[in-house]
Amino acid sequence: MVEVLQIFSSTLVFMVLADVFTTDVYGIMTGIVGAVTPAMSLSTLGTHVLLTRRAARGEDLGFAWSRALTLGLASPSVTFLVMLGLFPFLFPEGNVDWSVFVLFAVAGLPFFWLSELVAFLPIGMGDIRTAAVLRFATFVCRLVALGWFLLLSSGTLLEWAGAHALSFAASGLIGVVIVSNKYNLRPQPPTRLGADVREGLPFSMSGATENIFDGADKVLLLRYDMRDDAGIYGLGGRITQFGYAPIRILLRSRDADLHRAGASGAGAAAQVARQMLVPGLGLGLFAAAVAWLFAPLVPIVFGDKWEEAVPAIRLLAFLPAVRSIQYLVGNTITACDRQLWRFGATAVAAVLNIVLNVIYLPGGSWRTAVATTFVSEVFLVTALFLVLWFWVRKESQEAAHIPE
């Protein structure tokens, strides 16, 4: 139910904005979000992972919540100030409105993360009903914001940025009230925050790197004042993202099995992963077929302004198939406690993506961004396979030398 609400909410927002905005305005929004999302991931400091783990293990709930809430508000707030300082570097051409950037930045830092963080406490408690209530509250806030924007606003990007920020601020505040009352949580002076930062940073660094990998080309298209191309590429990427949902559901359904096997080593985790390889790849190819077949409907539904998005959607349609393998191999590496190796491979791929875009994008178009994306994605899949193969082989060699 939670997944359905999130998919429905994202689809609704996407459809309204694609219909209302022109390609260049949509491109500005895509570029800003591409810049903010990695910063948001990095600023989380793994607070959701630590909170879920402590709640699941029966540790002091009030203490765990106070530590998570303190870091979950303080770190994104500091990161928000850093992002404001980076604005002239990210978008030096003056083609991005400062106010719009500020509103999108404050929406993600810290409001969006706060609305997410509150749901991880009941998940850790096994209280799926309360988690669903919190997700539903976020859904309602988003629906209200979208309704106001569609019916009462003049349809500008600045107005949507404001409604977007207020919706997450409201859902975060509602979530804090619900969680505090449900579990009788009261503010406590948090301690050992430094230990939390050290423990959670690898998780946030990995997430931030993956988001840089996803968003760098969108930011650079906007930075080079290629707003229409950023819009076309952003819309194509947004549509293909819907193909990831069934793949993520499949992976989450076997997450516990994967982590249990990972406790026994990379070889055991790889055995579980093999069972998901064909279904995962099948879902990715099915998503590609659907996107390819229905791409011509986009300009019919949203107007002729998106005519050029049809080939972009068809080229990017194959991305979920590639990423089904990437997610599976990456999650297998994480399950056998080799998260830093996954981070390293993703970081190298992200650097490759940025370098290729810096070299080729100024004289190119959205097609250049598609090409650099696929080159980087194939590189990352290969690198992750090599990492997993290395650890499986290493463990096999070590087992062969154990004396009987």
Q: Which positions ≥6 away from 75 have C-beta within 8 Å? A: 43, 44, 45, 47, 110
pLDDT for the residue numbered 370: 92
Pick from 148-162, 253-267, 331-345 the range whose average pLDDT is largest: 148-162
pLDDT for the residue numbered 143: 92
375: pLDDT strictly greater than 90: yes
pLDDT for the residue numbered 247: 76
> In the chain, where are the structural domains located?
1-208, 226-397
pLDDT for the residue numbered 155: 92
What pTM value is reported for the model?
0.86
% of the chain with per-residue pLDDT over 70: 94
Is the peptide bond preceding residue 110 cis, with omega within 30 degrees of 0?
A: yes
SS (H, E, C) the chain: CHHHHHHHHHHHHHHHHHHHCCHHHHHHHHHHHHHHHHHHHHHCCCHHHHHHHHHHCCCCHHHHHHHHHHHHHHHHHHHHHHHHHHHHHHCCCCCCCHHHHHHHHHHHHHHHHHHHHHHHHHHHHCCHHHHHHHHHHHHHHHHHHHHHHHHCCCCCHHHHHHHHHHHHHHHHHHHHHHHHHHCCCCCCCCCCHHHHHHHHHHHHHHHHHHHHHHHHHHHHHHHCCCHHHHHHHHHHHHHHHCCHHHHHHHHHHCHHHHHHHHCCCHHHHHHHHHHHHHHHHHHHHHHHHHHHHHCCHHHHHHCHHHCCHHHHHHHHCCHHHHHHHHHHHHHHHHHCCCHHHHHHHHHHHHHHHHHHHHHHHHHCCHHHHHHHHHHHHHHHHHHHHHHHHHHHHHHHHHHHCCCC
237: pLDDT strictly greater than 80: yes
Per-residue model confidence as pLDDT tens digits over 97-134: 999 999 999 998 888 888 888 888 887 777 878 888 88
Per-residue model confidence as pLDDT tens digits over 161-183: 999 999 999 999 999 999 989 88
- Residue 390, Cα to own-chain centre: how many angstroms? 28
pLDDT for the residue numbered 2: 54
